[in-house]
């Protein structure tokens, strides 16, 4: 997080405590966030003398996390019930609601080689191996943009923001929406920009367009059309939008693991002193995906927490006159490898896609990582939801302290 962001936050003095929720991206892996939030809702419901209002005033999402954020914003007027509604939404989807391989004859699925050739042809034709029009249709039916406006009018939320990355210029954009966008001033940092405007389904599709897997989405910015892809790309400061939007406390839910050992080689060979084997395509793809989706989060959280500790150590009279404000950050990530969970469910991938990726060698040696972004089948989804609930309850004391005043 830049010093400019911190100074801006320090100069903003809201008259109430503002809680922000930041949801990172990761395709189907973001079902984990559903479990965490479902547990949070259950914990807050049984707190004595606590209203059942929606507990976050600022919502920020990236990639598939942006879809979760938009859904929560559209149902925030339901209070804590919004988390259960999100869980119900995830319980009804599968891969057919998110993507398809266009124009694939039924007989192709019986040949890995032919399926791989078809996959490559699709990638050359539209710049991506999958068609995400099913996702567009799903979002139009599931997310009420009018519900977001109702949430603003009811005072359930203050702001919602999603991020996307421009293939045209390389700039990372944050699209923010509030009850009155005109009174807010956009910000700009090197390689990053923000703009206040009503959110659309196109913003969500652009934010979740995983590179190589889903095609780029056109959006109008600065009076011209640019093509956008996944918001996790070039995202150097994932907490920055929440701070700019006035957050004092930030709960961030990621879906990656800091340690990714064994993704590209043979652990047995390594332990025997032989050395790791050369990485497979699946291992390289998994490493690349993890770098796109997860590696910046931990650094930004650590930096924000370090600054907060430094400010807390200053004499109170000194801190009171400085243009800085300490931001409390609570980060939750899976305690188990989602790659390993996905590896047990690879057989659930749509047959044609599984054979095509298998024909390219993308599901060997770490292929569980690549599959984890595309496994929207219910067995995998519910496994992640359950893990999210378990991890949240294991940190119940921290979560309840986060929501205390």
Tokens of 57: 């005033």
Q: Which residues are catalytic?
A: 63, 230
Pair 265, 283: CB distance under 8 Å: yes
How far is the C-alpha of 382 from the C-alpha of 388, rounded, in Å? Answer: 10
Identify any residues that bridge with 196 across adjacent strands, giving them in sequence order: 176
Shortest CA distance to 252 belongs to which of 316, 188, 189, 297?
297
How far is the C-alpha of 250 from the C-alpha of 5, rounded, in Å? Answer: 15
Up-side HSE of residue 279: CA atoms within 13 Å toward CB?
15
State in Å, rounded, how far the first CA of the chain is from the last one.
25
Tokens of 210: 């995983």
How far is the C-alpha of 61 from the C-alpha of 235, rounded, in Å? Answer: 12
What is the residue-wise DSSP string for 182-210? GGSPP-EETTEEEEE----HHHHHHHT--
| 278-282 contacts at long range (C-beta below 8 A, 24 or more positions apart) | 279/365, 279/366, 280/361, 280/364, 280/365, 280/366, 280/367, 281/360, 281/361, 281/362, 281/364, 282/361, 282/362, 282/363, 282/364, 282/365, 282/366, 282/367, 282/368, 282/369, 282/370
By three-state DSSP, how is residue 300 classified?
helix
**CB atoms near residue 14 (< 10 Å):** 12
How far is the C-alpha of 54 from the C-alpha of 76, rounded, in Å? Answer: 6
């Amino acid at each position: 997080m830049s010093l400019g962001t911190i100074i801006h936050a320090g100069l903003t003095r809201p008259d109430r405590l503002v809680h922000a929720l930041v949801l990172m991206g990761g395709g189907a892996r973001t079902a984990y966030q559903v479990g965490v939030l479902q547990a949070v809702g259950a914990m807050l419901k049984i707190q004595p003398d606590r209203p059942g209002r929606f507990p976050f005033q600022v919502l920020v999402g990236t990639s598939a996390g942006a879809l979760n954020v938009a859904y929560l914003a559209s149902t925030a007027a339901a209070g804590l019930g919004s988390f259960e509604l999100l869980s119900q939404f995830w319980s009804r989807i599968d891969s057919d609601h998110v993507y398809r391989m266009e124009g694939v004859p039924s007989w192709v699925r019986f040949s890995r080689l032919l399926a791989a050739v078809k996959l490559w042809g699709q990638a050359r034709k539209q710049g991506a191996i999958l068609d995400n029009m099913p996702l567009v249709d799903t979002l139009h039916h599931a997310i009420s943009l009018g519900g977001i406006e109702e949430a603003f009018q009811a005072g359930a939320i203050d702001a919602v923001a999603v991020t996307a990355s421009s293939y045209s210029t390389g700039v990372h954009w944050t699209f923010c929406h509030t009850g009155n966008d005109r009174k807010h001033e956009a910000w700009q940092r090197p390689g990053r920009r923000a703009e206040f405007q009503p959110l659309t389904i196109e913003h969500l599709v652009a934010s979740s367009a995983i590179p190589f897997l889903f095609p780029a989405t056109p959006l109008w910015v600065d009076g011209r059309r640019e093509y956008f892809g996944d918001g996790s790309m070039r995202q150097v400061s994932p907490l920055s939008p929440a701070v700019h939007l006035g957050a004092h406390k930030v709960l961030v839910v990621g879906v990656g693991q800091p340690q990714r050992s064994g993704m590209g080689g043979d652990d047995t060979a390594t332990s025997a002193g032989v050395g790791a084997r050369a990485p497979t395509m699946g291992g390289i793809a998994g490493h690349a995906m993890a770098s796109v989706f997860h590696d910046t989060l931990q650094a930004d959280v650590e930096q924000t927490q370090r600054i907060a500790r430094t400010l807390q150590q200053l004499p109170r009279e000194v801190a009171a006159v400085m243009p800085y404000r300490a931001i409390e950050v609570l980060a939750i990530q899976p305690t188990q490898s989602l790659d390993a969970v996905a590896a047990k469910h690879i057989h659930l991938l749509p047959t044609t896609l599984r054979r095509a990726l298998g024909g390219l060698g993308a599901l060997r040696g770490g292929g569980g990582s690549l599959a984890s972004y595309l496994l929207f089948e219910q067995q995998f989804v519910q496994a992640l939801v359950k893990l999210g609930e378990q991890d949240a309850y294991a940190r119940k004391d921290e979560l309840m302290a986060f929501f205390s005043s």
